[in-house]
Amino acid sequence: MKIELVSFELANLQTVTFVGKLAQYRYYNMDRVVAAALTVFENRISQLSRS
């Protein structure tokens, strides 16, 4: 199916990070979604700066 191919391709991307309630399959208040996104961003930036 096309959705399986898209899911497979997205899972193999190194430069895209999915965050938030849809990526984590949880309900979050928006303040928690923003906090989680910022935490992931900070972690990704620190990983890139070490490379």
**Would you call 16 helix, strand, or coil by DSSP?**
coil
Q: Give me the pLDDT at residue 8, please.
A: 78
**Cα separations in angstroms, 49 against 13, 15, 17, 34, 43:** 19, 14, 17, 22, 10
* Boundaries of every domain in the chain: 2-50
Q: Give me the pLDDT at residue 39, please.
A: 92
Sequence-separated (6 or more) residues with CB below 8 Å from residue 23: none
Tell whether the model's pLDDT for residue 35 goes beyond 80: yes
Length of the chain: 51
Q: Using CA atoms, how far apart are residues 8 and 34, in angstroms rounded to an integer?
A: 26
Q: What is the pTM of this model?
A: 0.49
